Amino acid sequence: MQYLSKGISKDKLLELYRAMLKPRMIEEKMLILLRQGKISKWFSGIGQEAISIGVTSALDEDEYILPMHRNLGVFTTRGIPLFRLFSQWQGKSSGFTNGRDRSFHFGTQEYKIVGMISHLGPQLGVADGIALADLLKKRKKVTAVFTGEGATSEGDFHEALNVAAVWDLPVLFCVENNGYGLSTPISEQFKCEHIADKGKGYGMETHIIDGNNILEVFSTVNDLCVSIREKPRPVLLEFKTFRMRGHEEASGTKYVPKKLLEEWAAKDPIENYVEYLHAQGILSEELEVEFKKEIIHEIDENLKLAFAEEPVQLDVSKELNDVYKEFKYQEIKPNNEWHNIRLVDAISEGLKQSMEKHENLVILGQDIADYGGVFKITEGFVEAFGTDRVRNTPICESAIVSAAMGLSINGMKCVMEMQFADFVSSGFNPIVNYLAKVHYRWNENADVVIRMPCGGGVGAGPFHSQTNEAWFTKTPGLKVAYPAFPYDAKGLLATAINDPNPVMFFEHKALYRSIYQEVPLSYYTLPFGEAALLKEGNDVSIVTYGAGVHWALECLEQNPEIKADLLDLRTLQPLDTLSIFESVKKTGKLIILQEDSLFGGIGSDISALVMEECFEFLDAPVQRVASLETPVPFAKSLENNYLPKDRFLTTLIELLEY
């Protein structure tokens, strides 16, 4: 191995050695503990230390770094006290997740490290968002994100690199090509010769680096960082290296040809470097022994601390409370000027006023800039706020959701416009696995609102008509709003943006231009978790939301003899169960109207809750009226049959006559 130490001080050369030695020695200790059954899973980075250490050493301490499961060296080089790492691996409180997540699945703002989620790929888009925030705040920073070569097959890799290229984001994409992804060799993972070859397709600068050569890694990355800080751009780095142990310890390396292991063993990043340092007279035998002694001492002392720590104590209310970041709702009252506008106008007005209120708010979405979005919600926004804050995105929902997460991590707020709610399936993973779980996992919040133009009755077929709120009400960590009127939509959107938690904000397309209402001109907020009692009557309770509210109103108008409480839920998470129970206790009968297909919708849960909490008050079985168990059909006659509107009255009368 050829080492070039040009311009690197002797102290730095030694520091790099010590920094590589530490994770190696921790790992060797962990392997012993693993065999003794004292720790659970272990993903070894032995043989790959030069990459973690070289990259981390080249970054400034306040630059974000996003490691994966083999990057122990990132955590140690950033100076995290070892007992905190050991505690984390044992699921104890001095770790970073209060026992809620394992191994390296955590982040820490204190050390500017953003750990992975198991799904691998979303990390890359998060790095984009972090870098975008730096760019927007005119901070000259680099963000480094790691991935294995296996995970480069995920769509997230393609999406994140493409976005970074189009936006000139200062991201170092560090691919550790270690020959295998679990048991899959690179020949079954990708067809090109080098991962770096892919950079060309994204119009991106690339470098291939010997990942076992610490000086090559450090020098190249250091030079690149200096250059990227001045001239922001993404760079794809492929580090050639090898995974010397199993995917995780239990799985072994039987499938890896012995010859390969031997070849790479000869290229060990630490042994070779030690030889070089000895030959140069930089490292003496005595100093080497001293370093090792110090590290062993540090490991032992910190292990003692971690083992002595009590297992994490269960506090049920804390478990529930930590799913969301605390948000103290602030009521802001409107002024006295009102105007008659459509739902679509109210959302646009609310969004615009939030952009004026929050300087750190960025809107991301397809065709939202000059074009104004497909529903024209952001028309004129570019003139008011510029394309930095009203940002057209490529068609890549997953990377954009991840980027929104990254913006939030780096101090921004983000509203993402999903062009149609149906397309959220392409960004589903980071929503339910990253945004929803991040506060519970490591106390980081996702200050993101995803606007969801949704719903049927518009003759748009199976892929432009869905109302998929149940995918999200099911997921702890998300809030879900679903206003039916312009006044509610504007006030709730303002609150959604103020709330530091992730909010799915449903906007019914069929209501956009058909529903008018008097709405305050000025900025105002409305609280989540409060249903609106639109009509009062003693015969029956009708609970609904979105388009269902308007169907129920029409039905009651045409049948004035029916005396019903009509509750518009307005938000589904939090859900105003108190108002539902109160009404049911008064009327003794409940019908739930939901536009989504029946099974597994929120109506089913409301029904179950009422059965559990109000059983003795019920005079009839709770009724659910919802769409058919089919995709949403295109032709008018089929769609009318699919939607529950025409079935609602029949079931309502049956319930009244029960």
Ligand X SMILES: Cc1ncc(C[n+]2csc(CCOP(=O)(O)OP(=O)(O)O)c2C)c(N)n1
Positions marked catalytic? 464
Cis before 574 (ω within 30): yes
DSSP 313: P
Which residue spans within 306-430 are E strands per DSSP? 338-342, 361-365, 390-392, 413-417
Question: Residue 129 or residue 181: which is nearer to Mg ion going by CB?
Answer: 181
Question: Residue 118 or residue 630: which is nearer to ligand X going by CB?
Answer: 118
Q: How many other β-carbons are positioned within 10 Å of the β-carbon of residue 634? A: 14
211 binds Mg ion (CB under 5 A): no
246 binds Mg ion (CB under 5 A): no
Q: Which helix (H) or strand (E) holds 519?
A: strand 516-520
For the bound state, the minimum distance from the C-beta of residue 203 to ligand X, rounded and expressed in Å, comes to 24
For the bound state, the minimum distance from the C-beta of residue 67 to ligand X, rounded and expressed in Å, comes to 11
Question: Residue 438 or residue 584: which is nearer to ligand X going by CB?
Answer: 438
The CB-side HSE value for 294 (13 A sphere, CA atoms) comes to 10
Is residue 114 classed as helix, strand or coil in its secondary structure?
coil
For the bound state, the minimum distance from the C-beta of residue 30 to Mg ion, rounded and expressed in Å, comes to 20
* Sole binder of Mg ion in the list 47, 54, 67, 181 (CB under 5 A): 181
For the bound state, the minimum distance from the C-beta of residue 149 to ligand X, rounded and expressed in Å, comes to 5
CA 568/CA 521 separation, integer angstroms = 23
125 binds, among Mg ion, ligand X, none (CB under 5 to 8 A by kind): none
151 binds, among Mg ion, ligand X, none (CB under 5 to 8 A by kind): ligand X
Q: Which stretch binds Mg ion (CB under 5 A): 111-119, 142-150, 351-359, 377-385?
A: 142-150
Question: Residue 150 or residue 365: which is nearer to ligand X going by CB?
Answer: 150
508 binds, among ligand X, Mg ion, none (CB under 5 to 8 A by kind): none
Q: Are 362 and 134 in contact (CB under 8 A)?
A: no
Q: CA of 390: how far to CAs of 129, 385, 402, in Å?
A: 14, 7, 17
Q: Is the torsion defined by CA of 363, 366, 369, 372 positive or negative?
A: negative
189 binds Mg ion (CB under 5 A): no
Question: Residue 182 or residue 296: which is nearer to ligand X going by CB?
Answer: 182
Q: Which stretch binds Mg ion (CB under 5 A): 146-154, 265-273, 479-487, 632-640?
A: 146-154
For the bound state, the minimum distance from the C-beta of residue 184 to Mg ion, rounded and expressed in Å, comes to 8
150 binds Mg ion (CB under 5 A): yes
* SS3 labels along 415-431: EEECCCHHHHHHHHHHH
For the bound state, the minimum distance from the C-beta of residue 583 to Mg ion, rounded and expressed in Å, comes to 57
Q: Which stretch binds Mg ion (CB under 5 A): 31-39, 131-139, 178-186, 561-569?
A: 178-186
245 binds, among ligand X, Mg ion, none (CB under 5 to 8 A by kind): none
Question: Residue 82 or residue 237: which is nearer to Mg ion going by CB?
Answer: 237
199 binds Mg ion (CB under 5 A): no
Which residue spans within 91-217 are E strands per DSSP? 143-148, 171-177, 180-181, 184-185, 205-210
For the bound state, the minimum distance from the C-beta of residue 258 to Mg ion, rounded and expressed in Å, comes to 19
Question: Residue 181 or residue 365: which is nearer to ligand X going by CB?
Answer: 181
Strand partners, 504: 450, 480
Any residues with CB less than 8 A from the CB of 369 and at least 6 apart, and which?
378, 381, 382, 387, 390, 391, 392
Query: What is the token pair recorded at 241?
Result: 């290296």
Q: How many residues bind Mg ion (CB under 5 A)?
A: 5
Is residue 628 classed as helix, strand or coil in its secondary structure?
coil
Burial (0-12, 13-18, 19+ Cβ within 10 Å), 40: middle
70 binds, among Mg ion, ligand X, none (CB under 5 to 8 A by kind): ligand X
Which phi and psi angles does 294 have, rounded to 5°? -60, -45
Is residue 566 classed as helix, strand or coil in its secondary structure?
strand
CA 495/CA 517 separation, integer angstroms = 19
Strand partners, 108: 113
The footprint of ligand X (CB under 6 A) covers 70, 118-120, 148-151, 176, 178, 180-182, 243, 247
Q: Which stretch binds Mg ion (CB under 5 A): 79-87, 170-178, 403-411, 592-600?
A: 170-178
119 binds, among ligand X, Mg ion, none (CB under 5 to 8 A by kind): ligand X
For the bound state, the minimum distance from the C-beta of residue 263 to ligand X, rounded and expressed in Å, comes to 17
272 binds, among ligand X, Mg ion, none (CB under 5 to 8 A by kind): none
Could you report how far apart the first and last alpha carbons of the chain are, in Å?
Answer: 85
Closest alpha carbon to 66 in 193, 160, 183: 160
Question: Residue 102 or residue 229: which is nearer to ligand X going by CB?
Answer: 102
118 binds, among ligand X, Mg ion, none (CB under 5 to 8 A by kind): ligand X
* Sole binder of Mg ion in the list 95, 121, 148, 234 (CB under 5 A): 148
For the bound state, the minimum distance from the C-beta of residue 149 to Mg ion, rounded and expressed in Å, comes to 5
Q: How many other β-carbons are positioned within 10 Å of the β-carbon of residue 270? A: 20
Question: Residue 148 or residue 486: which is nearer to ligand X going by CB?
Answer: 148
* Residues at the interface with Mg ion (CB under 5 A): 148-150, 178, 181
